[in-house]
Structure 1
């Protein structure tokens, strides 16, 4: 875990020995798809004493290259939504995730509380290997930005926000972003340049409705996790960014 230049390394035995470890039960479990009970430490407790500035995010990276940005306000939301780092004990291994060979451990971020079902599936990373406090993505990677001359209420601006929250967990764009699970969505070609509109929308909703291959990772996304309106906004953002490749490459890779 890193914050403000300070790095802490935790192993599961040390975490399980903390006095603030509690037993929790999920009502909606993204990995296992049914309620499960875990020993866990609240994320807010884990970051006690660490600087998580307003507007910053906690970046959670997983073993498979999936990376998600947890908003600070979500981590400190309160009783309605409480985030936890669930810890798999070495002598009590969790079962394999349905359809996978491995469990969600050794670390899995889960959410409880009456508002927990509203937390997007992208914010339930499992097989977590690191947590770090970072600037918000749009500030960290300027090459994600839309044309600054766009009107304030242009849907493309909202599409950028949705893209960062829902797509940057697996993909990069203009080489910007930390994830390695999926391909870059602007370089060398933007998907709006080789998919029909209908095909791209179908791919985003359910990849397997368009094509299937053995190493396929992208999950199907229900309307609860990604609405039709959000898909429209993502497509609008991608179409816009197809014309902003040169700006990104002239500045460099877009990485920090």
Structure 2
């Protein structure tokens, strides 16, 4: 009994160490690794209130660091990728982070001594690092641009340069090109297109078939708004875009136009 009690006490003592983690930031001039303890002890770490948190769907309070303070020398021409431990890869242009509006990006840091609550759809939680925004509406931040379980932040060429096979041709309509822009900041964080992309969480959206080819437009529209409306699957990772703020009808129409366009421009794989 004493040995069992000793093991339990030892486990409780070591628990914070188990949850401590590192974040790697690479802006192309030498990578920097930050530990949980280093970030929490920074002089600019402060308590941030997020009134409408994307992951938790309720107001949340975080100990956080201004993201720009961790990205010295970031310029408007750069492009950032935020990679989570599960392979989720959010694409965010530097201009979104450098904006002069009220919007501000923060790196929320989970304190091992005060862990965050469980997520509604992900038992592994949002920690140890989570990109959150105050006043995100100022620069139209997409729900997919709130990546959690962060492991790496790095600069890369933009999506158009890295994956030219998914870029609409010059003659594509304005709606298709708008749909491509929306696709990059929403769908591309989980899905590939024509076999191209860094994230592998969801299926490819064009090979061998585009969803536009096997789902009625109204069903696909409903699925994007609420994935459970098509298939009741409690373990599903896709949370959908239920509101006009998360994805307007105009942007949703544009995404469907892009999918229809790409269904006629499949790449050989």
**Corresponding position: 1:14 with 2:34:** no
Q: CA deviation at 1:231?
A: 1.4
* 1:59 CA drift (Å): 0.8
Q: 2:54 aligns with which of 18, 25, 30?
A: 30
Distance change in 2, residues 1:114/1:216 (3 Å): closer
- Would you say 1:164 and 2:160 are equivalent positions? no
Among 175, 179, 182, the residue aligned to 2:202: 182
- When residues 114 and 242 of structure 1 are mapped into structure 2, their CA distance, relative to the original with a 3 A threshold, is closer
Would the aligned equivalents of 2:145 and 2:185 in 1 still touch at CA under 8 Å? Answer: no
Q: What residue ranges of structure 2 are gaps of 5+ in the alignment?
A: 1-24
Aligned partner (choices 92, 110, 115) of residue 93 of structure 1: 115
Larger Rg: 2
Instruction: Report what 2:248 is aligned to.
Output: 227
Q: TM-score, normalised by structure 2?
A: 0.84
In structure 2, do the counterparts of structure 1 residues 227 and 115 end up closer, same or farther at CA, with 3 Å as the change threshold?
closer
1:243 paired with 2:261, answer no
**How many residues are paired up?**
244
> Does the CA contact (< 8 Å) of 1:108 and 1:127 recur in 2?
yes
Q: Equivalent residue of 1:179, what SS?
A: coil
1:76 to 81, 93, 98: 98
Please give the alpha-carbon distance, in whole angstroms, between the structure 1 residues aligned to 2:205 and 2:134. 33
Displacement after TM superposition at 1:119 (Å): 2.5
Do 1:84 and 1:111's aligned partners in 2 also have CA atoms closer than 8 Å? yes
Q: Contact 2:101–2:138 (CA<8 Å) still a contact in 1? A: no
Rate the CA distance shift 1:85–1:148 in 2: closer, same or farther, 3 A: same
Q: 1:171 offset after TM fit, Å?
A: 0.6
Partner of 1:126: 148
Aligned counterparts of 1:192 and 1:211: Cα–Cα separation in 2: 16
Q: Report if the CA contact (8 A) 1:203-1:209 is conserved.
A: yes
User: 97-106 vs 157-166, which deviates more?
Assistant: 97-106
> Please, what TM-score do these two structures have when normalized by structure 1?
0.88
Question: Is 1:106 aligned to residue 128 of structure 2?
Answer: yes
Unaligned runs of 5+ in 1: none
